[in-house]
Chain A
C-alpha cells in the first residue's frame, strides 16, 4: 500500500518546527509502524536528506522508549499497544497519517519526534525508591504482603514511563505516571516507611516540571498502553492529603 505521511520535523529545540509531507510507497501490511518509518528513513538517506528522528529501543512494547502521536492519538489507534506494536494492517492504501511528538512543556522537543522525558526520571528520583538493606537477597515471604496489595502494586508497576498519559491529557498533566510510581511502592510494606515523604516529594517535583493539573478527564487511562487505571490518581490524592495534613501539625 502507499501512504501519505505528514511528519513533524524540528531540527533542534530552538527550531520552530513544521509538518513535512512524505510518500511512503510499497508499505507491507505486516510491517510495524516503526519499520514503516525505517523504510521511509532509508529513502530519505538515499536522497541525502536527514532521516526522521524518533525514539525506539526494545520494539516489543515493554520498554517505554517509543512514543508519538499518530492521527491525534498517543501510540496510535490500537488500545493497550505501544506504537512499536502497531502494525500497518491497520491502514489502507491512500491513507493520510499525521505524526506528532508528545506535546507538553514538561517534554521539550529535542528533534523531530524525540522529546526530553528526563522530567519523569526526576519525579522518580525525588521519591520512587525504598530504603533497603544491601547484601544478599532477603528470604522469600520474610515480609508478608496481602495478595490483593501485591496485585495492585504490580498493576501500578506495569507503568513503562512512556509519557502517553501526559501526551493524551488536555492539561498535559503527569498525574497518572506519578500516581503509578507512588502507588507501586506505597502499597507494599517495603515502601511504607517513606510513604508520606515519597508522595509529597514526588508531587512537588511533578509540579516543578511544568506539568498541568488533573481535571479527571480520564484520557490518560484510555491512552495508556499498559492500562494503568485512574484509580491510582485517587490513591495518590488520598496519600497526598493525609501526608499534607499529617505534616502541617
Chain B
C-alpha cells in the first residue's frame, strides 16, 4: 500500500470516508422520501413507482439491474461508514483514558452527541425496515409486489409506527449534525458557504425526517388507507 493510501488511514482520512459515504446516504434518504410521497396519490401510482424502481433504465438495464447497482453502492457506503465510525470511536475512547469527574457540554449542538448511539440505532432500524417492508419477514400481512398494501397494513400497528417515529428522530439528528459535519470534514468552508451550512443541514433533516414521519401518521389518522 502506497503512502497515499496510508494517508487515508489517519483520523482525517477516515473522516473523509465517513463524509463521502454519508453524502451517498443523504442522497438516498432524500430520494427515498421523495419517491414515497407517491403514497398520497393512491395504490396504483405508488405500486407503479415501486415496480418502476426495478425497471429503471430499461432497455439499457434489464429488470432489477439498476436497483441492485444502487443497492451495491449503498452496501459499500454503509460498510465504509460503519467501519470508519468504529475505528474513529475506538481511537477517541483510547484518547480519553482517564475520565473527568465532570465535563461541561460545550459543543455547538446537542445533535453531535447523538451521532454514535443514533448511528447504532439507525443501523438496527435499517435491518428492521428491510425485514419489514422489503422482504416482509417481520410483516404479519406481507404481499410481495403490493407495496401500498404492505405500507398501509404495516403502519396500522401503533407499536410499529412508534418504532418508525423514533427512528426518524434519530435520522433527523444524524442528518442535522452529519450534513454540517461533512462540509467541515471536506474543507468546504468560507464566509459565504458557512452561512448556508447550518440552514441546509436543518432543512435536509426536517424535510427527510418530517416527510417520512408523515407516512405512519397519515395511515394512523386514516388519510392513507
Contacts and interface: CB of A to CB of B under 8 A. Distances in A.
Contacts of B188: 234, 238
Contact of A100 (B2, B101, B108, B187): B101
Contacts of B14: 213
A117 to B, nearest CB: 14
A239 B92 contact: no
B95 A171 contact: yes
A84 interface: no
Interface centre among B96, B109, B112, B186 (most CB of A within 10 A): B96
Interface in A198-249: 200, 203-204, 207, 210-219, 221-223, 230-231, 233-241, 243-245, 247-249
Contact of A247 (B7, B92, B96, B194): B7
B16 interface: yes
Contacts of A203: 10, 12
Given A72-B102, A173-B92, A218-B107, A241 B186 contact: yes
A187 interface: no
B62 interface: no
A93 B198 CA distance: 42
Nearest to A10: B98
Given A230-B184, A235-B187, A103 B99 contact: yes
B21 interface: no
A116 B177 CA distance: 33
A106 B95 contact: yes
B95 A105 contact: yes
B16 to A, nearest CB: 6
Contacts of A237: 12, 15-16, 184-187
A189 to B, nearest CB: 20
Interface centre among B3, B10, B181 (most CB of A within 10 A): B10
Contacts, number: 148
Interface in B1-59: 2-5, 7-8, 10-16
A214 B92 CA distance: 8
A130 B58 CA distance: 59
Given A207-B10, A218-B112, A244-B7, A104 B186 contact: no
Interface of A: 19, 69, 71-73, 98, 100, 103-106, 109, 168, 170-173, 200, 203-204, 207, 210-219, 221-223, 230-231, 233-241, 243-245, 247-249
Interface of B: 2-5, 7-8, 10-16, 88, 91-109, 112-113, 115, 177, 180-181, 183-189, 194
29 contacts: A72-B101, A72-B104, A100-B100, A103-B96, A103-B98, A104-B96, A106-B95, A109-B98, A170-B107, A200-B7, A210-B94, A212-B92, A215-B181, A217-B108, A218-B106, A222-B106, A222-B108, A223-B106, A230-B184, A234-B184, A234-B187, A236-B12, A238-B188, A241-B16, A241-B186, A244-B7, A248-B5, A248-B7, A249-B4
